[in-house]
Structure 1
Amino acid sequence: MNGPWTLLDGAVKGVAKKYSQDRGAALSVADGRAVVLAVADGHGSAAHFRSDLGSRWAVEEFTACAREFAHEVARVGADAAGWPGLRAEARRLPRQVSHRWRERALLHDANSPAHGARSRAFGPACCPGSQGRGEEPPDLAAYGSTLIGAVLTEDMVFCWQLGDGDIVFVDGEGAPHTPLSTGPDLGDETDSLCEPEPWRKTRAHWQPFTGGIPPCLLISTDGLSKSFADHQGFLDFATGLHERVTEQGVAAVRAQLPDWLARAARFSGDDTTLVGAVTAPPRHSDET
């Protein structure tokens, strides 16, 4: 890639789970001038038995929307006159993603109803704006998933979060920042794409970089943070990863990442997915 970042992407299945409910993506776009990151965590319980599909669609639809947005962010760059327009577009993005996700879930459920066959009368009534009379719209809880995403350029970052999981910046001094954290989770309840109007519950953050880009941006599902005894332990992991990139290089961190995530999954019992963008010191430029 032509930009300053190297991408990290790792995922492991939870202990004793048949298959993972997580999905993740880390993409270089706009000729390397921007990065798109996303993770989604399907809820996975009996009520959400198709959430592996929901998390996959969440990442696919976010990256499709964010890829276009990232091109515009890279084009505007440091021209502050264009920032209000970017922020307005960023506010619209969660609704766009939610609608696209819902369309895929509705189509899948129409062809293979999650809760058994429906009458033909349902068809028209399931569609927005329909005048048809039929059953209530399908309950999309079967596909429920969280979603976290970010668009990063050398000039700024935009990030969005629906539900649990974590976004961490590690700055040039090695200090971690969690711009969308709402504190410790209470139980297993979380906001979800399967709820009505999920964009209204999506948290967002925008930040221009006046002192240079952060050398490390990590996004992870909650299987990673839950593997630590407390939140500080998770933050120490993020700063430790940044330190290892600095000391050992990106290739070494990539090689060790599967073992780190597997260890986390053993402690949390949950699927664990992490994606990130890191900048390597000049002496490791051969790895970028």
Structure 2
Amino acid sequence: MNATGTPTVAWELLDGGVKGVAKKYSQDRGTALTTADGRAAVLTVADGHGSRAHFRSDLGARWAVEAFTSCARVYAREVVRRGDDAANWPRLLAEARTLPQQVVHAWRRRVLMQEANSPAHGGHGTPPSGAPEADLAVYGSTLVGAVLTERLLICWQLGDGDIVLVDDDGTTHMPFYTGPDMGDETESLCEPEAWRKARLHWQPLTGGPPPGVLLSTDGLSKSFADHEGFLAFATGVRAGATSHGVAAVQAQLPDWLGHAAKYSGDDATLAGAFPVPGPGVPRPQPHPHIDTH
């Protein structure tokens, strides 16, 4: 926000996904959108578990994205309205901590509505012994989400997936990264009181321009031979957006994700947001194309 009260940052978005090689259909979902007149970005990706025990997890992932987006849009507008004053940050942080519970409840309501109309085990035998009347595991999914404004970045994660923050100079940071995954087990929306397992990253943006933010399902990072290769990809996406324009990167994104999916065999979905000068602030002219060689 400049001295006249005009926003100095708006957001441009990336959003794409591809089906894994030899898969019948994708278990991933994702979306990127702006709200509050472009002053806030909301990003989310979800990865349905996809195994036999989770045979409706594509629906679970879709409803996870819908539930997060609905709750996060309301929260993002509050962050824009109150977030310029640091005195409001403790209250906004407290609200951020309650958002996972809101999302899980909204997701479960949608799952139970589906179960009431078309029980998952109606054509697949009976629920496992000891399972609740509605077998939520059938719809199991992970969820990664973010709200980004000029002054604050807030991220949430339940289960696997990746969030990469990329600064102008190419410096990367992954707020939830703890090392390579050692197996296929992951936390899930279908677990009891799943919101208690959600992680939160709260970051005031006071030391320079906001970072670019990339969210992806784990099928993308697993397509690289090592962690450094994945970070180099994220840095390249940010560099391309800065040099050539986000629209040019968006046009290339299906090819990039498709190439990655050939290596991991898994679905790959990405949602991203990049800061651009706000209304009335000069912005660089993009190059006419991206050289992919």
**Partners of 2:287 and 2:258 in 1: CA distance:** 28
Structure 1 residue ranges (4+ consecutive) displaced by more than 4 angstroms after TM superposition: none
Q: Secondary structure at the match of 1:4?
A: strand
Give the TM-score normalised by structure 2.
0.88
Of residues 162, 165, 183, the one that matches 2:161 is 165
Match of 2:11 in 1: 5
Q: Distance in 1 between matches of 2:157 and 2:211?
A: 21
Give the structure with the higher percent helix: 1
Deviation at 1:58, TM superposition (A): 0.2
Q: How far off is 1:280 after superposition?
A: 5.0
Per-residue deviation at 1:136?
Answer: 3.8
Offset, 1:286: 10
Aligned AA (1:184): P
CA distance in 2, matches of 1:207, 1:272: 27
Q: Give the secondary-structure state (helix, strand or coil) at the position aligned to 1:242.
A: helix
Hey, what does 1:91 align to over in structure 2? 97
Q: Point out where structure 1 has 5 or more consecutive residues left out of the alignment.
A: 118-134
Work out whether 1:65 is the aligned partner of 2:68.
Answer: no
Aligned residue runs from structure 1 range 37-186, under 5 A: 37-116=43-122, 136-186=132-182
CA distance in 2, matches of 1:285, 1:262: 25
Q: Determine the C-alpha separation between the residues in 2 that align with 1:145 and 1:8.
A: 22
Aligned partner of 1:193 among 189, 192, 195: 189
* Partner-residue secondary structure (3-state), 1:227: coil
Q: 1:28 is matched with which residue?
A: 34
In 2, the alpha carbon distance for the partners of 1:284 and 1:196 equals: 50
Q: How far 1:285 sits from its partner (Å)?
A: 7.0
For 1:152 and 1:286, the matched residues in 2 are separated by 26
Query: How many Å separate the matches in 2 of 1:205 and 1:15?
Result: 33
d(CA) in 2 for partners of 1:191 and 1:13? Answer: 22
Question: Quick check: 1:30–1:71 contact (8 Å CA) kept in 2?
Answer: yes
Write the distance in 1 (CA, Å) between the matches of 2:182 and 2:26. Answer: 23
Structure 2 equivalent of residue 264 of structure 1: 260
Over the residues paired in the alignment, what is the CA RMSD in angstroms?
Answer: 2.0
- Whether the 8 Å CA contact 2:244–2:287 is kept in 1: the answer is no
TM-aligned CA deviation for residue 51 of structure 1: 0.4
Give yes or no for contact 1:250–1:280 (8 Å, CA) kept in 2. Answer: no
Count of matched residue positions in the alignment of Structure 1 and Structure 2: 270
Whether 1:273 and 2:269 are equivalent positions in the alignment is yes
Gap change, CA 1:21 and 1:250, over 3 Å in 2:
same
Give the whole-Å Cα distance in 2 for the aligned partners of 1:203 and 1:157.
Answer: 14
Matched-pair contact (CA < 8 Å) for 2:28–2:217:
yes
Which residue number corresponds to residue 234 of structure 1?
230
**TM-score between the two structures when normalised by the length of structure 1:** 0.89
CA contact (8 A) 1:155 1:213 kept: no
Looking at structure 1, the residues matched to 276 and 41 of structure 2 have their Cα atoms a distance apart, in angstroms, of 15
1:84-135 CA-partner distances (Å, limit 9, x unpaired) = 1100100000001001111111221122221238xxxxxxxxxxxxxxxxx9
Identity among equivalent positions (%) equals 68
